Structure 1
């Protein structure tokens, strides 16, 4: 079964949606799902979700242009994975892509590579941004999880709880517990303060 999906943004002319429906009907679509929603409101594409749910193995989902379906290459690859899992093909009329053909499958592989490339570029830019911020003294990063729980470690130690049990209760490593105890500025300030701990204990 051929299933059509047509989308227009809230800023587009209504004629754009009618043109898509006309082209999809001419392509032989027996069922057409249509909606008016912007490209960024992916979570609100209820009719697309219905189309994906409606499609069965052997069916083909057809759109007139790529931007009517996906907001990015990565999003397209995600949708293609969903369709492939159901045994449903995708046809993009303007690009001449049909994943039911060997050429279409090759295009899918290429698109997957492009999506991975986009992700690597994004991560590289993120790393460069962090490096520049560190060099300028503006990057603090996240506080170490164990150090954030230092007060709890010291409190439990004063209550007589052993290092292994402290680590288990707070969800941190034993080595982190001993580092906090041995590095505590409270050591030697009074009887209630924790004494240095040997990590080989417990």
Structure 2
């Protein structure tokens, strides 16, 4: 028996797969597999479990293509692997169904457009950085004020929390925590 198998992924524990799961179930998914991991992380147990469960004739459904892969190359490789196994891909948001020739064509066209868009963004970013440098600006993160960092340690040693010290000095909380840890390591604590 073939069916629709849903795959829902969110990047962090702060996010919830419930909305994706609901949409996939409404689209006819008989089972939904989930992952709470960044798309950058290739180790996705939920996706692996889905692929182990899926049989020829099944359809892998996602709410959006970016839930399945972050890059065009990754998506194309996944679709090729699915096609070899006789599994179709259904993307609800983009309305792509690779079980038909037209759906497969649309997938490749959308993939090409997405790749083109990413290249345009990269080019604009590169041009913007070059323009900023030409105006004498230094793009990127500004250097930290060593005096403020040095002032944070006595505040923490006096009993102020690193978060409060960071707020008082206009520093990032992680910066103060990092410096407190460095100081503790230097003292051998």
**TM-score of the superposition, structure 1-length normalised?**
0.52
Give the equivalent residue in structure 1 for 2:7. Answer: 5
Preserved contact between residue 59 and residue 87 of structure 2 (Cα < 8 Å): yes
- State the match for 1:32 in structure 2: 32
* Residues 72 and 115 in structure 2, CA contact (< 8 A), matched pair in contact too: no
Runs of 4+ aligned structure 1 residues displaced above 3 Å come to 108-118
Counterpart position of 1:18: 18
Give the gaps of 5 or more residues in structure 2.
120-189
1-10 vs 98-107, which moves further: 98-107
Q: Match for residue 185 of structure 2?
A: none
- Contact kept? 1:3, 1:32, Cα under 8 Å: yes
**Rounded Cα–Cα distance in structure 1 between residues aligned with 2:18 and 2:46:** 16
Supply the distance in 1 between the matched residues of 2:53 and 2:30 (Cα, whole angstroms): 12
In the TM superposition, 1:1-202 aligns within 5 A as 1-10=3-12, 12-14=14-16, 17-42=17-42, 44-110=43-109
Indicate the RMSD between aligned Cα atoms, in angstroms: 2.3
| Alpha-carbon offset, residue 112 of structure 1 | 6.9
Q: Which has the larger radius of gyration?
A: 1
Q: Unpaired runs of 5+ in structure 1?
A: 122-202
Number of aligned residue pairs: 117
Structure 1 pair 12/65, CA: closer, same or farther in 2 (3 Å)? farther
